[in-house]
Amino acid sequence: MLKVGLAGARAQSTLKGFQARSGEVEVAAICDLNEDIAKNAAAKNKIPKKFRIFEDMLEADIDAVVIATPMQCHVPQAMAALEAGKHVLSEVTAGVTMDELWWLVEAVEKSGKVYMMAENYKYIPENQVIAAMVRAGLFGKPYFGEGEYLHSVTDRLRYSDGKKTWRNYWQLGTRGCFYPTHSLGPVMQWFAGDRIEAVSCFSAGQNRAAELGLRQDDTTVTLCRMKSGGLIKLRVDCMSKRPHNLHYYSLQGTKGCYEAPRGLGDKAKIWLDSMPGEDEHNPKWHPLEDYYGEFMPERYQNATEDQKAAGHWGGDFFLIDDFLASVFDGKKPAVDVYDACEWTAVGLLSALSVTNGGREIEMPVFRNNPPLGKQVTRI
């Protein structure tokens, strides 16, 4: 029986996934600095142990932890858990400094335990269908992708008691593409086997940010130059006054393209040069849903309504499946520590780029624990 501890109230989003494996997994503990939140969550979900201090929970009888605390806590808590012999499922982003990312890689490699970053947007059903179609070669060679995360969080800058939240500093208190993984992760799975070589970031200025006394740019556009020669464009905006658009993506390959819906009745749509009767001089969009039967993963097609209702379009359920497959079966984590650090570093390097007029910043290679002399950020 794998015993799991939840760190942070946000970690309750993983409960459906763990509960579906009740014969193999027990959510045995929950931890939150707010004792009332921990107490109420434990009672509601029949979690036997509750803690206020994370390190106290690590000393309990648990085998794995879900870290869903503020961003600046992720690496210190992940390292403490790994050193205590626990598997780790960490919320995004992996860390908040480049040094932290190197520490994390070293800690994971040394521990021999599973580390997975819980980037749930790659599990959105449409994104999974596109991934299957890419693997089948229907798009040819992918060479351009887009991801957007447009979600104002200005209503989360203060707690109910009026005190400033951590988001004032670790999210809207920084420059550049501070929260890249929701927009980047799904696209990176379509560029499987590729890696990011360099990052450039551009700002639309500080408009609402200036009014609110924040350092974050209202909108940033970040370009990721891939080793393959491809390009990924990210737009992140967490303060502009506009309707949310949390999951827009597009893909262009040598044999076809995909665009996610934009709203107002729009549908996910694709065009492939292999479509029967297509005129390459007058191509027409086709609904992506026409391909669900063949390319939607079987576990999605067989999912219960309860599983589909899990957070983030079911993503909070299926990522638990993959985490447990890594723990029980030794499978490679869906987002391992190297991917987690590279995707997180896009945000950290974008801050350097945007403050230097969009200058291209080289992406370090996190894999295989390079020597200290190669753990550099070149400007």
Tens of pLDDT, residue by residue over 283-304, are 999 999 999 999 999 999 988 8
User: Does residue 377 register a pLDDT over 90?
Assistant: no
Tens of pLDDT, residue by residue over 140-165, are 999 999 999 999 999 999 999 999 99
Amino acid at site 213 = G
User: Does residue 312 register a pLDDT over 80?
Assistant: no
Tens of pLDDT, residue by residue over 326-358, are 999 999 999 999 999 999 999 999 999 999 999
Tens of pLDDT, residue by residue over 57-71, are 999 999 999 999 999
DSSP string, 91-142: PSPS-SSHHHHHHHHHHHHHH-S-EEE--GGGGSHHHHHHHHHHHTTTT-SE
- Distance of CA 263 to CAs 71, 247, 248, 259, 331, Å? 30, 11, 10, 12, 37
Report pLDDT for 4: 98
Residue pair 315/123 in contact (Cβ under 8 Å)? The answer is yes
Tens of pLDDT, residue by residue over 234-265, are 999 999 999 999 999 999 999 999 999 998 99
Domains in the chain, ordered, with CATH? 120-297+336-379 (3.30.360.10)
Question: Of 367, 345, 376, which Cα lies nearest the Cα of 201?
Answer: 345
Q: Which two tokens stand for residue 4?
A: 């799991």
Is the whole-model pTM more than 0.85? yes
Report pLDDT for 170: 95
* Residue 117, beta-bridge partner list: 90
Alpha-helical segments (H) within 251-304: 292-295, 298-301
- Of residues 218 and 377, more confidently modeled: 218
Pairing mode, strands 220-226 and 115-117: unpaired
The C-alpha torsion from 30 through 69 and 100 to 322, rounded to 10°, is: 70
- Distance of CA 174 to CAs 3, 177, 304, Å? 37, 9, 41
> Percent of the chain having pLDDT more than 70?
100
The alpha carbon of residue 210 and the mean position of all alpha carbons in its chain are separated, in whole angstroms, by: 28
Between CA 222 and CA 308, with CA 10 as vertex, the angle to 5 degrees is 85
Report pLDDT for 174: 95
